[in-house]
Chain A
Amino acid sequence: MRRFFERYDIIDVIMWLIAAAILIGALIGSVKTIQSGKYSAATWVDLSISGLTQGSIYALIALGYTMVYGILRMINFAHSEVFMSGSFVGYFAATWLAASGFMDANPVLGLIVVFFVAALTSVVVAVLLERIAYRPLRRAPRLVPLITAIGASLFLQYMFRGLFGSQVRSYPPMPRLEGSVTGPLGVEIEYVQILVIVAAALMMLFLYLYVQRTRAGRAIRAVSEDKDVAALMGIDVDSAIVTTFVLGAAFAGMAGVLYALIFRQITFFMGFVPGIKAFTAAVLGGIGNIPGAMLGGLVLGITESVGTILFLDGYGVPAPYQLKDGIAFVVLVLILILRPTGLLGERLARTKA
């Protein structure tokens, strides 16, 4: 007993108790929900697929957080606005293409153009952000770039609001993407969901290969290991950092289009919630770790979609879906208490953060 207290702080014990209480609560809720038999197996599969779709988008955004964190050790709070800006300008491209009839004639090419425009916008925003707001502060105390990032996020949000108005805008309907296939257990899978999952998987594969196999990718990994040593080895640190921002932003921009294809509606404020969740996904997977961000995104998406009903419905909570956004934060806190390294990562929350 005494040795136990020598090894573990009272705070650790309290935190474990909190975590255990949440986990047991979730477990009991799950058992109750399943026992109630309100939901069929098909419902669960359906929820899982929509969770997977959501999670793919979280994963794409999370890549930007995790890569920038890996290389600069800072949370790029404005990344959610990079995502939003891609989605927003992609909207104008999509509307224009749809109005001119190009989208109906060449749906694949049209979508590629929209993706490209969105990615380009996000890249421009992120590069400007890095150049103006972050680069001068690279050696500043940690709180300083963090506050800069919050300010930049606010600035971008309200810049878009000022420029394009505060109304909700809807992406034009894509007739070719409507409809669904019937999967196992009679579950309907929409084409859009398939598109999102496949596109996200392809992009992540590309990123993984890029970072692992190319010279630029090696430079990024070297700089995130140690900036000064990398510079001594003749690596251009600035360009490696810019490449990181460009990659992350391109992914965020494309995720913005995918998000809009599912949810249709976009506003200047749309980046906030997905941004926070993507960050949670990055932490969940182990921040700084690229495969971790992908895994974290998928796990979080499914937890959110399935877990909201599974954990809460058994307690008779009215309208549990309203609490969906809260799940991500609880997961974040749990992860930081139980396994700050994330699922695949090194321990950062304490040492470097």
Chain B
Amino acid sequence: MPAKRSSPLLTALRLGSIGGGVALLLSLMGMVEALSERDIIAGVISTGIALIVAIFMVFGFSAARAQSDSSPVTRIAVGTLTGAIGESFLIGLVIFGQNVDLRPVFPSASPELYTLLQFGRTGTQAYVTMLVFGAVVGAFGAGLALMPARYRRAIVVGLTAVTLSGLLEDLIHITLATAPGLLVLADRILARGVESGLKPIGAVVVFVLFAIVTFFWGPIRTGIDAGRKAVPPSQRHRAGLLIYGLLIVILLLLPKAFGPYLTEVSNSVMIFAVMAVGLNIVVGFAGLLDLGYVAFFAIGAYTMGVLTTTAVGAQRGQIVWGPQLTFWEALPIAVLFSITAGILLGIPVLRMRGDYLAIVTLGFGEIVRIMALSDALKPFIGGSQGMVEIGVPSLGQVNARLSSQELYYYLMLAVLFLVIFIALRLRDSRQGRRWMAMREDEDVAQAVGIRLVSTKLLAFASGAAMAGLAGAIFASKVGSVYPHSFNLLVSINVLAVVIVGGMGSVPGVVAGALVLFGLPELLREFSEFRYFVFGAVLVAMMLYRPEGLWPEAKRRQELHEADESGPDPQPEVLVTSGGAGSA
């Protein structure tokens, strides 16, 4: 689409103002300050400053790109000016904020923020530094726009790798610490101890490594493909199995390497991943936007709670009735209850489409939460005080040898594999095709003989079953159930995973859960802003990439395999069945 040409000055002014506005917003929200506690490169650059760098770089890049007809010098100048204009917003904030106390309105506009934005300097010196900083960053962004794509990609990937490895320093250290030889390597590149992030030398190493690999990715990839072609198809299949087998072994050994905290994080991630796979059936396969998905999670958790809690009776708590079943007896009942709830919700909304469905399901989720909170059901499910002493899974001798986190880790891993397996089989079955036909066009689907009633109800029921399963295990893992664990944000969270991963893509959804739940858990100071970022990500995804992050690559890969080796059994299916068996 040819953009309207505007003068270089206007472009810089427009994009600089937008960039400056964004930087101003993030500063006033306290994001810059909160993130600056963690360094990406120890003593050199903090995450907060990196955020500002990223903003001005992107806007400098877009400015230079918008002026694609101009000469390179003009384009660099436009980028420089964009960065400087953007930074002048922050200068304005600093000057204004030092004279007027903004904190009654903006609690985050603290002196620490100003010091941070001024790079620790004061007076005119600081303003000049800031302006130069903005100009340089903008010029760098513009420079990226001028480069050939191959160089640009190498630099961007290198920078991203440095950022990520700086952020995930803890994780990398723990992972590398499993082998003594690697630990030495880790100490070379990671700034452990007082400071966080990478050592400067480590940053250079990571950057160069990733930039070079990206730069030569074309030839490397051709080499890999050639290598793969050299292997005969039958053995290639076996090699694939071997790789996946290795993956499973790694997954099984992971808790030993991770330690209790990271195992616990993995458990939460897996619980949400199971929910996301379930919601993916409803939203991704069948196209029914369910915003009350948390209701089934809650029903699963509460069923598990009611059936297994041992805090029953007048003295032990308010709960008046409880059969005190074991975890394993209660689990199928919890799933069954969720399925029933799914069908019961499904019936009234059978005739609704799109937005109505969304809002009614949202209402259903809220009703479940309100009921859980109310005094009316308090004798049975504990009201706002919740329920405690919920049963744990017992496996005889095994319990003694595993820590609680490890026990749930293996349980969740098995459940996750099972659920992925079911979802993939459903996707490739006649039922899956019915769902997708219905998603594309309900009327046409009905016209070709698909029964909408059973198709929809089955989608709701399968989604509800997975959420109920996740909820039941969640209740047991936490040991207690409280109504506030089941608010709308859980539904939105899971929805965000499905959207970002790619609606309808099972591996995408699992990866999405890993990123959207794993990252905020690991980056504690970020978690305060996670919903802000989720909201922005949802809007941005819908505007620029509604199909999600994963499916396109997947589809490309599938098409690629199809034209080189003909019909090939789908690898994931085989592997997950192996996984479910072995786990």
Contacts and interface: CB of A to CB of B under 8 A. Distances in A.
A18 interface: yes
Contacts of A133: 539, 543
Given A151-B536, A154-B535, A158-B535, A353 B355 contact: yes
Given A143-B289, A318-B375, A349-B351, A326 B359 contact: no
A148 B291 CA distance: 14
A329 B373 CA distance: 16
B548 to A, nearest CB: 11
Interface string A1-33: 000000000010011001000000000000000
Contacts of A329: 360, 363-364, 366-367
A213 interface: no
Interface stretch (B23-31, B90-98, B122-130, B307-315): B23-31
Contacts of A75: 355, 358-359
A158 B492 contact: no
Interface in B373-392: 373-376, 378
A26 to B, nearest CB: 15
B201 interface: no
Contacts of A18: 347-348
B362 interface: yes
A155 B356 contact: no
A158 B531 contact: yes
B542 interface: yes
A164 interface: yes
Contacts of B360: 329, 332-333, 336
A326 B366 contact: yes
A276 B363 contact: yes
A228 interface: no
A248 B535 CA distance: 22
A147 B538 contact: yes
Contact of A162 (B31, B348, B351, B354): B31
Contacts of B528: 162
Given A155-B535, A163-B29, A276-B363, A326 B348 contact: no
A156 interface: yes
Nearest to B292: A329
A148 B538 contact: yes
Contact of A326 (B367, B492, B529): B367
A161 B364 CA distance: 26
Nearest to A351: B353
Contacts of A323: 370-371, 374, 376
Contacts of B453: 11
A150 B375 contact: no
B176 interface: no
A146 B105 contact: no
A48 interface: no
Contacts of B546: 140, 144
A156 B358 CA distance: 20
Contacts of A50: none
A154 B533 CA distance: 9
B52 to A, nearest CB: 16
A353 B539 contact: no
B520 to A, nearest CB: 13
A46 B106 CA distance: 40
A147 B535 contact: no
Interface in B31-63: 31
A176 to B, nearest CB: 25
Contacts of A145: 542
Nearest to B378: A318
Contacts of B289: 143, 146-147
Interface string B452-496: 010000000000000000000000000000000000100010011
B370 A322 contact: yes
A151 B375 contact: no
A145 B355 CA distance: 10
* Majority secondary structure of chain B interface residues (helix, strand, loop or mixed): helix
B350 interface: yes
B108 interface: yes
A317 interface: yes
Nearest to B31: A162
B105 A154 contact: no
A152 interface: yes
A269 to B, nearest CB: 10
B10 interface: no
B352 interface: yes
A143 B453 CA distance: 21
B495 A150 contact: yes
Interface string A42-78: 0000000000000000000000000000000011000
Contacts of A11: 347, 350-351, 453
A325 B487 CA distance: 14
Contact of B534 (A74, A151, A332, A349): A151
Given A154-B531, A272-B488, A326-B371, A159 B25 contact: yes
Contacts of A349: 351-353, 356
A152 B539 contact: yes
A328 B364 CA distance: 11
Interface string B497-532: 001000000000000000000000000000011011
Given A322-B376, A329-B366, A333-B360, A137 B371 contact: no
A325 B363 CA distance: 10
B348 A337 contact: yes
A312 to B, nearest CB: 8
A276 B365 CA distance: 12
A328 B367 CA distance: 10
Interface string A161-176: 1111100000000000
B537 interface: yes
B233 interface: no
A58 to B, nearest CB: 15
A317 B107 CA distance: 43
Contact of A276 (B362, B376, B496): B362
A158 B533 CA distance: 9
A198 interface: no
A143 B108 CA distance: 36
Contact of B354 (A15, A136, A332, A353): A353
B538 A154 contact: yes
Q: Looking at A151, A157, A322, which has the most chain B CB atoms within 10 Å of its CB? A: A151
Contacts of A245: none
Given A146-B354, A329-B364, A155 B532 contact: yes
A162 B356 contact: no
Contacts of B348: 15, 18, 333, 336-337
Given A155-B539, A158-B529, A322 B354 contact: no
A322 B370 CA distance: 7
Contacts of A15: 347-348, 351
B287 interface: yes
Contact of A353 (B353, B488, B499): B353
A164 B105 CA distance: 6
A92 interface: yes
B318 to A, nearest CB: 12
Given A158-B531, A329-B360, 4 more contacts: A144-B542, A164-B107, A323-B370, A323-B371
Interface of B: 25, 28-31, 105-108, 287, 289, 291, 347-348, 350-356, 358-360, 362-364, 366-367, 370-371, 373-376, 378, 453, 488, 492, 495-496, 499, 528-529, 531-532, 534-539, 541-543, 546
17 contacts: A18-B347, A74-B355, A140-B546, A143-B354, A146-B358, A147-B499, A148-B539, A151-B496, A152-B539, A157-B535, A158-B531, A283-B356, A318-B375, A318-B378, A320-B376, A322-B374, A328-B363
Interface of A: 11, 14-15, 18, 74-75, 92, 132-133, 136-137, 140, 142-148, 150-159, 161-165, 272, 276, 279-280, 283, 317-320, 322-323, 325-326, 328-330, 332-333, 336-337, 340, 349-350, 353
Nearest 3 interchain pairs by C-beta: A151-B538, A155-B535, A162-B29
